[in-house]
Structure 1
Amino acid sequence: MANDRKVRVAIIGLGFGAEFIPIYQKHPHAKMFAICQRNREKLNQIGDAFGVAKRYTNYEDVLNDPDVDAVHINTPIPDHAPMSIAGLKAKKHVACTVPAATSVAECRKIVEAQKKARRNYMMMETVVYSREFLYVKELLQTGVLGRIQFLRGSHQQEMAGWPGYWEGLPPMHYATHCVSPCLCLAGKLAESVVCHGSGRISPKLTRKYGSPFAIETATIKLKNSNVACEVTRSLFETARQYRESFDVYAD
């Protein structure tokens, strides 16, 4: 791909994914090239609304299109890792909504595929591009904040009524919104994690994943750092206002 032309992007999944179409259309270095959705009626509705001519109902057809440089995956969680790996194997750059995967094995396969393909992969975490995060990051970089002593993240959200694959999802399978600000501000990788489950969700919610916990909380030891992090996540049957938050303790 030449460096003097725009990156031709295909968006996969047009639920939440449709919100990115005007962003790519306005980006000076991107071309909103193609969209992909299994439901043809929805595909054409969104394609007509945003003026996107290239449309697919099959992901494999997108990967076989030599004019597609990058795919942006916005599909259900179970599809994230397999579709990311397939995209990398097809020599496409890959951006994927969170979470990237739900197992260590899937994460390793994504890393291996990226190294072999020598293409860019990005987990599209949103919190680290929020106004609040960027403000705190600036305070840290300019020295106003001082030394970080401790970091805490929290994401509380009731997911009842969402698509079926969410039902009973273990909280830490979707914890990127509270983990990412902590790790990014610390500028370190996690070396070890200790996680505890608390409370119980209804038996009907445990059938899919076998996880009984209403809340999961984890402490993170950072590599080559004397700072620790704590993150807490809930998805079902926890009476709490919706929030995605992070706290920074400094001197």
Structure 2
Amino acid sequence: MSTKSVINVGVVGLEFGAEFIPIYQRHPNANMYAICQRTQEKLDAVGDQFGVEVRYNDYAEMLKDPNIDLIHINTPLQLHADQVVAALEAGKHVGCTIPMATSVEDCKRIVDAQRATGLVYMMMETVVYSREFLYIQEQYEAGNLGKLQFLRSSHHQDMTGWPSYWDGMPPMHNATHAVSPVLALGNNQAESVQCLGSGTVFERMKDAYGSPFAIESTHIKFKDSDIGAEVTRNLWTVARQYRESFDAYGAVRSFEWSHVEGEKHIMHTGEEPVRIDVPDYAHRLPEAIQAFTTGGVYSDEGDEKHRSFVQGGGHGGSHPHLVHTLLQAVLRDEQPYLNAVRSANITCSGILSHESAQRGGEKMMLPKWTLLNDNIPMVIELDENCEPPWAGLGEGEKLIAGAGHE
């Protein structure tokens, strides 16, 4: 348990990262101490906007500041591994945006660095703190879904207009938004993956990463479980509205994400689908940051540089939950749910899925170091009494038993 009650925070990367600054400023256990950005104009603009006096252009210099307890990294994904390891080795706790890294080897470097230092590492994956996930998790843990039978998720996104390093990137190299909810719902871990690629990206993109696929779709086998999940991801050359989604199919109730942004999600109870209102979970947060589940830095300006704002309030209201979870982990000297090992399991599921697709769907095993030995999946057994009244009947008998149903 830390003896400090207020954590000095440094935020690195001020495009997406600026969204978190006012949350830290209002959190009772945080002091929004320093910011870092390579471009001076952006650094000063954000610093002046939020009144942050300590400013760095050089990340290495920032890490030398003895006043900083926690580094929150929001930089391009190819920088994550080196920056996270450097921060841990400098004695700083770390929260880092997704993905953990872009190779299995770099994920292992972070796991090793966290274990060597004993400091807090958290991958700041938004979906498992979104209101939709928190709602379905609550429903599942209350037994309202019954036995979990299958999970499906997707992340469709057109990266036109994004930085050039996205050109031709394998879809599954940035799949944590889709992988994390299917693993987290039942506290599962990925044991193996099998993936197929489909379609093609633009010819000019194929050589960037040696990846031809427009879409990659993987099946994940869970460790110590009889269920699995299907995950789909695309980045280019697919005509589809932006969508992060997950579906959970239970024996009693099933949840399906809406197909079009702005529509209500669906809960199935047998034959009758019901459109539902998903509640907000701001009540789980300190009062001072509750408003950030429904509004953010850019939301009043109509800024759509980051797709988090398409879904409203920062990835389904997740941003203040991420901040609060990270700060509590540091204060309690405890590893968060999205610790280094679990984050590696999630991230490597995507990386190895792409490798599987390159090998024509070959089964790929997750490395043993991505598995927590003490992890216990949450299992709700099948209730033999949940069968509908016509279960096991012939077609003619089923029609009679179902009489009165439109």
**TM-score bracket, shorter-length normalisation:** over 0.9
Q: Which amino acid aligns with 1:134?
A: L
Q: Distance in 1 between matches of 2:211 and 2:64?
A: 38
More strand by share: 1
Other-structure match for 1:209: 209
Q: TM-score under structure 2 normalisation?
A: 0.61
Other-structure match for 1:14: 14
Other-structure match for 2:63: 63
Q: Distance in 2 between matches of 1:221 and 1:69?
A: 38
List gaps (5 residues or longer) in structure 2: 252-406
Q: Which amino acid aligns with 1:132?
A: E
Post-superposition Cα deviations, 1:204-231, rounded to whole Å, max 9, x if no partner, equal: 1122211100000100000000011110
Q: Distance in 2 between matches of 1:238 and 1:227?
A: 29
Other-structure match for 2:174: 174
Specify the SS of the correspondent of 2:209. Answer: coil
Q: Which amino acid aligns with 2:105?
A: A
Q: By how many angstroms is 1:188 displaced?
A: 1.1
List gaps (5 residues or longer) in structure 1: none
Q: Distance in 1 between matches of 2:16 and 2:198?
A: 31
Specify the SS of the correspondent of 2:185. Answer: helix
Other-structure match for 2:128: 128
Other-structure match for 1:191: 191
Q: Which amino acid aligns with 1:127?
A: V
Q: Distance in 2 between matches of 1:241 and 1:200?
A: 19
Matched, 1:31 2:31: yes
Specify the SS of the correspondent of 1:52. Answer: coil
Q: Distance in 2 between matches of 1:236 and 1:159?
A: 6
Q: By how many angstroms is 1:3 displaced?
A: 2.5
Q: Distance in 2 between matches of 1:234 and 1:5?
A: 43
Q: By how many angstroms is 1:5 displaced?
A: 2.5
Q: TM-score under structure 1 normalisation?
A: 0.98
Q: Following superposition of structure 1 onto structure 2, how do residues 136-175 of structure 1 map, counting pairs within 5 Å?
A: 136-175=136-175
Other-structure match for 2:54: 54
Post-superposition Cα deviations, 1:57-100, rounded to whole Å, max 9, x if no partner, equal: 00001111111001011011110111011111111101100011
Post-superposition Cα deviations, 1:4-44, rounded to whole Å, max 9, x if no partner, equal: 32111100000100110001111111111100001111101
Q: Distance in 2 between matches of 1:246 and 1:113?
A: 32
Other-structure match for 2:111: 111
Structure 1 moving runs of 4+ over 4 Å:
none
Q: By how many angstroms is 1:2 displaced?
A: 4.5
Larger Rg: 2
Q: By how many angstroms is 1:160 displaced?
A: 1.1
The structure with higher relative contact order (CA 8 Å, sep 6+) is 2
Q: What is the aligned-residue RMSD (CA, Å)? A: 1.0
Other-structure match for 1:4: 4
Post-superposition Cα deviations, 1:166-216, rounded to whole Å, max 9, x if no partner, equal: 111100001011101000002111000111111111111122211100000
Q: Which amino acid aligns with 1:12?
A: V
